[in-house]
Structure 1
């Protein structure tokens, strides 16, 4: 029991001080421990949850859509109207060749942002919280890639819509376009594991972007994205014809045109499988040791 006083010394009343109620572990156990633990999420459920997180990040930070809208549009307009007349005689003829190639280039280039997102979460400490969760370990990485697949789809839709306005007419119709975009998404999913690895390996997101640009620029420009390799010197054709981006661009171009380029599709799927088999385990090893 204590007496409260004002600054002038006048008593205001008394306050009763109560001793804390003693407790034991047995008394609080029913409150802290549920009668039935929730089930551990499956690999698919966990992957979809992290994929939805990536989608919500796009919703709350719409600036992330700039690279999948403005950049492809700028490339398509620039190459079609600046070089179309010189390379194919007219922009209308050139866009039939170049649009699938620029679509491939644009989607492949934005795969780098998977690694950037991973590196940003590591820098903010979010990754440490994810590692404490009881779930399938690769689901975190798969979630990043699933979320970015939405970005690739948006980029493809923007490019094809603009191409139709500019005069592009896919001979394969809706089925050919969907087949080409699906093949592009499969390859991009596998290709993104490279940048996921660098996102774990490098310290800053600028380093991830720098390494990605050093790899992507030669692969995309030394390919058949813009011109036919037969116009190149023989020593350069040897590299271009074995470039995975060349196989991908040829496969997408053929599918959208209504042909079935079986060899190019097989090469593209083989490259995608190789990238996934090599960089998937390396990425998970780095993640487990991070």
Structure 2
């Protein structure tokens, strides 16, 4: 009897029992969300910069659509909005590892590791939490863009696909940020890595400008940029006549990229456990 039940109990403690993963993920996600509710200024501040970019750039560069060769439609605000949504998702998720570093510094991570808390839930909950934040913030950006005059012919289906792309982008870079936090265990290193990755990805894409107006090499590099995959999928889905092959193709690439980074984050967690 002992020899049968003991391995099962140990497996549950490690988080391999599925009910535990689901339940623990819900609890840990609520823990993160409660922290946001207690400090709502965090959500507001994270929205300020994207909205400034949306409103300021939308007005400053609205004549870009008149440049010969611009293929982004007749409204720069409509062209810009999916890029701003993805920028917000990218920059927000790049800081996801901060919560891990805070837990390490306060000793919370060690207490979790000595408890029956599901290890999988500890990782998944941060991705779900970041995805929920991205969903809320994206809806706010879309609402402000609509008030500014943007009209998206893709309708509800296009908006849902845009949100899906944003959440996949969030999950992938949250996993990368978590992996960096678990391996570096230092806030300054995480900040450096985040800036090193996010800024080039943003400018080597069509988030702000149609790549057909950029240097040829920029368009070639953008084709391999996961941030660009999310922008293209969202923008195409919102258009009047979406290229569905392009939409699903880019979403597929993004999903595969997310799966790879989730695996990397899981490996990083195991490295941290062994050295903790």
The answer, yes or no, to whether TM exceeds 0.5 is yes
Residue 250 (structure 2) aligned to one of 267, 270, 280: 267
Moved more, 147-156 or 90-99: 90-99
Q: Is the 8 A contact 1:223 1:245 kept in 2?
A: yes
CA 1:145–1:50: 2 relative to 1, 3 Å:
same
Report deviation, 1:51.
0.5
Report deviation, 1:61.
1.9
Q: Is the 8 A contact 1:97 1:253 kept in 2?
A: yes
Deviations 1:25-84 (A, max 9, x none): xxxxxxxxxxxxxx9761100111100101001011223213432121111012111122
Alignment of 1:45-64 (within 5 A): 45-64=23-42
Residue 284 (structure 1) aligned to one of 262, 265, 269: 269
TM-score (normalised: structure 2): 0.84
Q: Is the 8 A contact 1:105 1:220 kept in 2?
A: yes
Q: Is the 8 A contact 1:138 1:284 kept in 2?
A: no
Query: Which residue does 1:88 correspond to in 2?
Result: 65
Report deviation, 1:267.
3.0
Q: Is the 8 A contact 2:138 2:163 kept in 1?
A: yes
Structure 1 position 106 matched with structure 2 position 106: no
RMSD: 2.2
Residue 140 (structure 2) aligned to one of 158, 171, 192: 158
Residue 78 (structure 1) aligned to one of 51, 56, 69: 56
Q: Is the 8 A contact 2:53 2:84 kept in 1?
A: yes
Gaps of 5+ in 1: 1-38
TM-score (normalised: structure 1): 0.80
Alignment of 1:74-223 (within 5 A): 74-85=52-63, 87-89=64-66, 93-223=75-205
Distance 2:211 2:256 in 1: 25
Query: Which residue does 1:42 correspond to in 2?
Result: 20
Query: Which residue does 1:26 correspond to in 2?
Result: none
**Bigger radius of gyration:** 1
Report deviation, 1:196.
0.3
Counting matched residue pairs gives 251
Gaps of 5+ in 2: 1-11, 14-18, 68-72
Q: Is the 8 A contact 1:118 1:199 kept in 2?
A: yes
Report deviation, 1:92.
7.5
Query: Which residue does 1:9 correspond to in 2?
Result: none
Query: Which residue does 1:241 correspond to in 2?
Result: 223
Q: Is the 8 A contact 1:180 1:251 kept in 2?
A: yes
Distance 1:243 1:170 in 2: 25
Deviations 1:71-119 (A, max 9, x none): 211110121111222x124997111111111111111111022111111
